[in-house]
Amino acid sequence: MATSAARLTGAPAAGRAAGAVPWIDALYALGAMTLAVEAAVHVQQFVSLFHAVHWIGPLFVANAVASLLAAAGLAHERTRPVAALAGIAISACALGSLVLSYGTGLFGWMEGGWRMAIAVALGSELGAILTLAAALTGAALRVEGIHRKMRQAAA
């Protein structure tokens, strides 16, 4: 049971050589870094521009806090799957909100032009979605492979 849980989360096995990091762990770490970048961009944009915008400012702060909490959850084996799903949801909502702000507007705010902060936010949000989805998929496939081998051994 513990082995299956460790494989599901991509946690290092007890017997693995020191310093070895499997690719699933690397994806979780990269996902945590992209969430941290997303949080930093939202804090920077809140301080420099959105602190005065009624609804958008508090949403930027909420995104930063939620992104950091999800990144922290990725550091712990037991919370990785939930934290990865949360990180995907947070980043997808931020990305969707940005798209809306360029189109119909979001809570009265219409984005115009292009700033470096928007490029960094886009990259970090897409990066978080892709890396965390890949980590969850890899962990699920790893568990399925273990279950398949167990069924073959039992037969």
Question: Each residue of 1-45: pLDDT tens digit?
Answer: 444 444 444 544 543 444 445 888 889 999 999 999 999 999 988
Q: Is residue 130 part of a domain?
A: yes
pTM for this prediction = 0.75
Domain-located, residue 10 = no
Within a domain: 126: yes
- Whether 17 is in a domain gets the answer no
Q: How many domains does the chain have?
A: 1
pLDDT at 76 over 80: yes
Which residue range(s) make up the domain with 42? 23-154
Please compute, for residue 78, the number of CA atoms within 13 A of its CA located in the half-sphere on the CB side.
1
Q: What long-range pairs does 104-111 form, CB within 8 A, spacing at least 24?
A: 106/55, 106/56, 107/54, 107/55, 107/56, 107/59, 108/54, 108/55, 109/53, 109/55, 109/56
Mean residue pLDDT of the chain comes to: 80
In a domain, 15, yes or no: no
What is the percentage of the chain residues whose pLDDT exceeds 90? 41
Reported as a pLDDT band with limits 50, 70 and 90, residue 108 is: low
Question: Is residue 53 a part of any domain in this protein?
Answer: yes
